[in-house]
Amino acid sequence: MDMQKATFDPGLTQKYVGPLTRVINNDGNFNVRRRGVKWQHINLYTHLINLSWPKFLAIVFFAYAAANVFFASIYVLVGTQQLRGADAPTAAARFLNAFFFSAQTISTVGYGSMAPSGVAANSVAAIEAMFGLMGFALATGLLFGRFSKPSAKIGFSKNMLWTPYQDGFSLQFRIVNLRVNSLMELQATVMLMTVQDVGGELKRDFKILDLERPSVVFFPLTWTIVHPIDPQSPLSGKTAADLKNMRVEFLILIKGFDETFSQTVHARYSYRYDEVHWGGRFAPAFSIEPSGDVVLDVDRVGDLVSQS
């Protein structure tokens, strides 16, 4: 059993090749930048689904503008005289009119102030209308996919606490559901990552920490996740200097069932050795109103008070 624990690797490699800022970033993504990826390896749908909203909207806007510039250029090459109402005294004004006519055509709005009159212009408009229908259908599907993708929005306390607990000490952090959807059957996994000298070679070592309560059935309030530092804990007898020397990082995986989507969702987070607060305890994050209702302050998930 000890041999299995010594060789445990969650998929983050035991090989140590240099100092690492952290394994998991604060946004939950792994601190890995991929190189050498070819365009054939990229699934465009999943790539666009997983992009941040600002990047996704920027791509949609750029694609829309680029498509209109492309078709406007074709209309100019065909001749704006084949677009009724698009004639103008300057080339820039004619191109601008062609651009707005393209926008009306690709979106199938068709105000009627400009219209194609020749065979060439009508052919280009027909092709553009087809591409417009396909493009907007694709954008609609991507928007639906982004909105319907189940995900967890878990808030983590800013710091971990190394604090007195029962007759000894414990390592604690607190989480809260930042969304109004209902999560249940939550499970927490906390891994300790250290860098150790093994036979003159630095290696990463991973151990799963035992938790006082590894799961909860319901999650309407906050959940303080506690690792008791007993004699069996790998943190027993350690100091802040020890954690720094071992380049400690605590890797966290939260898994739960989202009642809204009826699917399992995950959240990842990590705390470095310098994000461990020694002493104190978490302040209450919820209160009872005179009416008997419970009020949860989600922005107080990481508030601390002195240990009394």
Q: What is the CATH number of the domain that holds 216?
A: 2.60.40.1400
Residue 261 is encoded by which pair of tokens?
Answer: 């989507």
Residues 230 and 286 in one domain: yes
For the chain, state the CA radius of gyration.
29
- Say which residues have a Cβ less than 8 Å from residue 47's Cβ, sequence separation at least 6: none
Number of helical (H) and strand (E) elements in the chain, helices listed first: 6, 16
Residues 207 and 281 in one domain: yes
pLDDT value for 4: 39
Report which of 215, 304, 97 is spatially closest to residue 105, judged by C-alpha positions.
97
Residues 17 and 164 in one domain: yes
Cα distance between residue 91 and residue 89, in whole Å: 7
3-state DSSP assignment of residue 92? helix
pLDDT value for 110: 84
Residues 60 and 190 in one domain: no
Give the containing element (helix H, strand E) for 187. strand 183-198
Residues 140 and 188 in one domain: no
pLDDT value for 308: 61
Residues 221 and 276 in one domain: yes
Residues 142 and 211 in one domain: no
Residues 293 and 182 in one domain: yes
Residues 173 and 251 in one domain: yes
**pLDDT tens across 2-32, in order?**
433 445 788 888 887 777 788 998 888 888 8
**pLDDT tens across 149-188, in order?**
888 899 999 999 999 998 899 999 999 999 988 899 999 9
pLDDT value for 7: 59
Range of the domain at 210: 2-32+152-305
3-state DSSP assignment of residue 157? coil
Q: Is the dihedral of CA 295, 298, 303, 307 positive or negative?
A: positive
Cα distance between residue 178 and residue 157, in whole Å: 12
Q: Mark which of 126, 148, 170 sits at the end of a domain.
A: 148
pLDDT value for 147: 87
Residues 164 and 285 in one domain: yes
3-state DSSP assignment of residue 48? helix
- 59, amino acid identity: I
Q: How many domains does the chain have?
A: 2
Q: Mark which of 133, 148, 163 sits at the end of a domain.
A: 148
* Average confidence score pLDDT of the chain: 90
**pLDDT tens across 67-88, in order?**
999 999 999 999 989 999 888 8
DSSP state of 15: B
pLDDT value for 2: 43
**pLDDT tens across 107-150, in order?**
988 888 899 998 999 999 999 999 999 999 999 999 999 988 88
Contact 285, 165 (CB under 8 A): no
Q: How far is CA 11 from CA 26, 192, 206, in A?
A: 19, 14, 10
Residue 275 is encoded by which pair of tokens?
Answer: 């994000």
3-state DSSP assignment of residue 123? helix
Report which of 170, 203, 202 is spatially closest to residue 8, judged by C-alpha positions.
203
pLDDT value for 237: 92
Query: Is the pLDDT score of 51 beyond 50?
Result: yes
pLDDT value for 33: 83
Residues 299 and 189 in one domain: yes
Q: Mark which of 148, 178, 207 sits at the end of a domain.
A: 148
Residues 14 and 43 in one domain: no
Determine the average pLDDT of the residues in 92-107: 94
Determine the average pLDDT of the residues in 94-107: 94
Question: For residue 116, what is the domain's CATH number?
Answer: 1.10.287.70
Q: What is the dihedral of CA 174, 6, 205, 165, to 10 degrees?
A: 30
